[in-house]
Amino acid sequence: MAAFDRILSGIPEMDQALDNIRLGDNVVWRVSHLEEFRYFCEPYVEQAIKDKRNIVYFRFASHELLVKECPEVKRVEIPLSHQFENFTVEIHKVIEREGIDTFYIFDCLSELQTAWATDLMMGNFFRVTCPFLFSLDTVAFFPIIRGKHSFHAVKKILNTTQLLLDVYSDPKNIYVRPAKVWNRDSETMFLPHIYNKELRTFRPIRDGVQSSRFYQILSKFQRPGEEQFTDSWDRFFNTARMLYDNHMNTEEACNTMCDIMMTRDRKMRLMVKKHFSPEDYFSVRNHMIGTGMIGGKACGMLLSRAIVRNLAWDINEVLEPHDSFFIGSDVYYTYIVDNGFWDIRVRQREETEYFSLAEEFARRLKNGVFSEEMKNHFLHILEYYGQDPFIVRSSSILEDGFGNAFAGKYESVFCANRGSLEERLAEFENAIKTVYASSMSLSALDYRKRRGLDKRDEQMALLVQRVSGSYYGSYYMPCAAGVGYSYSPYKFLEKIDPKAGMLRLVMGLGTSAVDRTEGSYPRLVSLDMPQATNCTTIAQKHQFSQRKIEVVDTTRHCLRQLELDQIEAYIPGYLGKLLLEHDFEVEASMRERGINREVRFISCGGLVKKELLMQQIQMIMQLIQKEYDYPVDIEFTVNLSETGEYSINLLQCRPLQVFKDTGNVEIPDNIPEENIILENVHSSMGLSRKTQIDTIVLIDPVAYYNMPYAKKVKAAKLIGAVNWKNKGKNKHMLLIVPGRIGTSSPELGVPTTFADISEFEAICEVEEKSVGYNPELSYGSHIFQDLVEAEILYTAVFSNEKTLRFAPEKLADFPDIIDFYTDDPDLKGVAHVYDTSKASCELCNDLQNEKLVLYRK
């Protein structure tokens, strides 16, 4: 049949009054109770059966059936869960499968509040479902309950649907007044009508007596004006607050607040409910924009603070109060729906377009527009922070949970928060869109795919945090920042106790603590011996010190990396003593040449000497680890005053993924020396294993060094090509590269992302002193966490006693199949892809004895 053709509703006089329901129409019935909907649904189904229509009834609610069991009606059960995206996609799949000219009945949309706790998402569901039904020339009946939804939610439905009909009834009469009939009009169409369900008459009210009776009934159903604009979410929180203020039992309300706002992780929920007070929930809501979840990162931050407050009041005294805001996960979906690219979101979920559509979807996310209402909320945050810098951080629903850290997969964007109000708002909006778009990054998608999360709802909530710190001239930063681990998964010093925990400590913003920065090293602190280092001379301490300091430049309105001499003049003396150290050897050498100048480098030496500070940071992690019953990692800042006072700001906390060895591996002790390609000790990280290697990718250090700088990225692209072409093929591959893997700086190594190396069994970094390449695992960095979670073995080749043998020239005995992956002449002699599948090349790692061997059998 043709689009917009008239159909029969089973009530002839109603067809005449409304100029017929048409193919493509969505008909919403706003009723006081579902029996009122049945008055019109039953004739509709009877007529559809008579006309031999394809009829589908979507069943998802807990109320009684709206359509009686009969063979002519297909009943499709869709479980109603908190996962808006999955629920919506499942319904759309059925609609797509049933095709054109299908007639639908939906369970009551008002019940969606049970799962989603907000009118907003019900409106979003209708906004994406109604046009899809319309495009297939279907007819669909939807009931909603009067008085349960805000004006804004009903307006979304009203603006999207083709017909919205209000039904009122008393013991004697049933009244219908059309609120919207799209593309049709008559002199009586929008008058109230009386419906007789026995005779199926449907006639407009024309006389004053009947009209008076109608308005008497109508007045009973009108809600107070202010309440009409209140979402069900806010009505719930207002009720919970009233219970609390009147000293009534709020346990059930608190449990609900946790379930709908804090987390979906079962273990995290139990801890939140244990440690949160009612005031904690109300505080979150007061600092929240929109509805939905606040996401994993925000939940972890708040929970860890509550644990410290409840279990260590003395440490809580030095804990800097948080002043964060939370942008709810529902805002992410609403942004997608409002900007009209939900269809791309649905397509991108499918296997065939999971990666290929990501770039387009990210572009749409980056270029969308926020509603005026949402912009007003953003302005409130800007007003709150004044002109202090803040950071917009990802806090997705799956992030920072047990088993899924998502470390470094999503963006965090600093906002300098300077300039005119319009400029500051534009900067804020751009930061939000950038984080949204990062949900479609290759690294994030690959991570979700590898961990079986690609079909899960991954709504992007946001955590907005003021940057903790002070002004130093026009630069803004904390005195120090870092990441802490309650358990150290790698012994960077021989005598340390892994259970004591470790820190990666830096001066300035903490990004330097989690990223690999060119020529820059954070201070590694083992909390059982905070002052210990693996450097034996001042020269070594200087060489392996932090060189770049991350700051917010309030003049240039951006994040910058500074050399120490660019900011040193602004550092007060007391802080210099805590963070900086003199290189007395260089100073003495310069004095011999008649130059009197201080030479200082960043060591954070004064901080690690503060025993109480180190003990408190350690205690914070141990308390949280005990409650989590799992190792944790935290992000923190430290600010200090001239009087010696300090404050700790706990910015993030999440379960720490650690290696759990599966058993001993015995390395043969009679391997012929000529068969050994690599043998080292005390320089590997990863589970014990004995693996037959199929492919070895080798990047020659000297040849790579001699490549033009602009062409070095080609080596990274080759590694990525090998990685992606072998994805899912159960290949066991080894990657051997100069310097650091996962760096963004080609001068340090090959600039890959983790998505380029995720399929490799093992990664080997090679030292090459002649051209300045140095392996450095960056214990605790994002790349470190990636290797741990993916159970990828890491090892390194050094020019010292740790490497017993390394003979890469022996790999030339294997076939080089690089031409299968690239024909780029610039990579000839630089990169090799050796096929070892037919040569029985074995990799053995003995974690217990800290020994690794790669050899040809």
pLDDT, position 778: 61
Please state the rounded mean pLDDT for residues 461-475: 95
pLDDT at residue 789 tops 50: yes
Q: In sequence order, what are the residues at sequence separation of 6 or more whose Cβ sits closer than 8 angstroms to the Cβ of residue 659?
A: 489, 685, 686, 687, 788, 791, 847
pLDDT at residue 493 tops 90: no
pLDDT at residue 248 tops 60: yes
Band the pLDDT of 446: cuts 50, 70, 90. confident
pLDDT at residue 696 tops 60: yes
Q: Write down the mean pLDDT value for the chain.
A: 90
Exposed, middle or buried by CB within 10 Å (0-12, 13-18, 19+), for 763? buried
pLDDT, position 226: 41
Report how far apart, in Å, the C-alpha atoms of 174 and of each of 7, 204, 799 are: 23, 12, 90
**261 vs 403, residue with greater confidence:** 261
Summarised one tens digit per residue, pLDDT across range 658-689 is 666 556 788 888 899 999 999 999 888 878 88
Please state the rounded mean pLDDT for residues 324-334: 95
Instruction: Please give the Cα distance from 541 to 214 (Å, whole number).
Output: 86
pLDDT, position 227: 44
Please state the rounded mean pLDDT for residues 346-366: 92
Of 59-73, 608-622, 733-747, which gets the smallest average pLDDT?
Answer: 733-747
DSSP letter assigned to residue 816: B
Summarised one tens digit per residue, pLDDT across range 527-547 is 999 999 878 889 888 988 898
Q: In sequence order, what are the residues at sequence separation of 6 or more whose Cβ sits closer than 8 angstroms to the Cβ of residue 294?
A: 261, 262, 284, 288, 302, 326, 328, 329, 395, 461, 463
List residues bridging with 360 in a β-sheet: none
Band the pLDDT of 1: cuts 50, 70, 90. low
pLDDT, position 705: 93
pLDDT at residue 180 tops 80: yes
Q: Are 834 and 853 in contact (CB under 8 A)?
A: no
* 633 CB neighbour count, 10 Å cutoff: 28
pLDDT at residue 153 tops 70: yes
CA 273 to chain centre: 23
Which CATH superfamily hosts domain 232-466?
ATP-grasp fold, A domain (3.30.1490.20)
Band the pLDDT of 518: cuts 50, 70, 90. low
Instruction: Please give the Cα distance from 472 to 461 (Å, whole number).
Output: 32
pLDDT, position 416: 94
Band the pLDDT of 42: cuts 50, 70, 90. very high
Report how far apart, in Å, the C-alpha atoms of 797 and of each of 301, 516, 544, 801, 857 are: 38, 19, 18, 10, 21
Please state the rounded mean pLDDT for residues 400-429: 87
pLDDT at residue 295 tops 60: yes
Q: Are 735 and 713 in contact (CB under 8 A)?
A: no
pLDDT, position 669: 83
Class of domain 479-552+562-655: alpha beta
pLDDT at residue 101 tops 80: yes
Report how far apart, in Å, the C-alpha atoms of 372 and of each of 34, 287, 569, 851 are: 36, 19, 44, 61
**153 vs 460, residue with greater confidence:** 460
Place of tokens 């400590």: 505
Summarised one tens digit per residue, pLDDT across range 541-579 is 898 889 899 999 999 999 999 999 999 999 999 999 999
Summarised one tens digit per residue, pLDDT across range 425-437 is 999 999 999 999 9
Please state the rounded mean pLDDT for residues 453-459: 80
* 597 CB neighbour count, 10 Å cutoff: 8
Summarised one tens digit per residue, pLDDT across range 822-851 is 999 999 999 999 999 888 899 999 887 889
Band the pLDDT of 225: cuts 50, 70, 90. very low
Structure tokens at 514: 């989690």
Pairing of strands 102-106, 139-145: parallel
Q: In sequence order, what are the residues at sequence separation of 6 or more whose Cβ sits closer than 8 angstroms to the Cβ of residue 387?
A: 417, 418
Summarised one tens digit per residue, pLDDT across range 108-134 is 999 998 788 888 899 999 999 999 999
6-220 fold: Rossmann fold (3.40.50)
CA 798 to chain centre: 37
Please state the rounded mean pLDDT for residues 391-406: 84
**695 vs 408, residue with greater confidence:** 695
pLDDT, position 742: 76
Place of tokens 């009233």: 242
| Portion of the chain with pLDDT greater than 70, in percent | 96
Instruction: Please give the Cα distance from 466 to 459 (Å, whole number).
Output: 23
DSSP letter assigned to residue 455: T
pLDDT, position 389: 95
Please state the rounded mean pLDDT for residues 188-198: 94
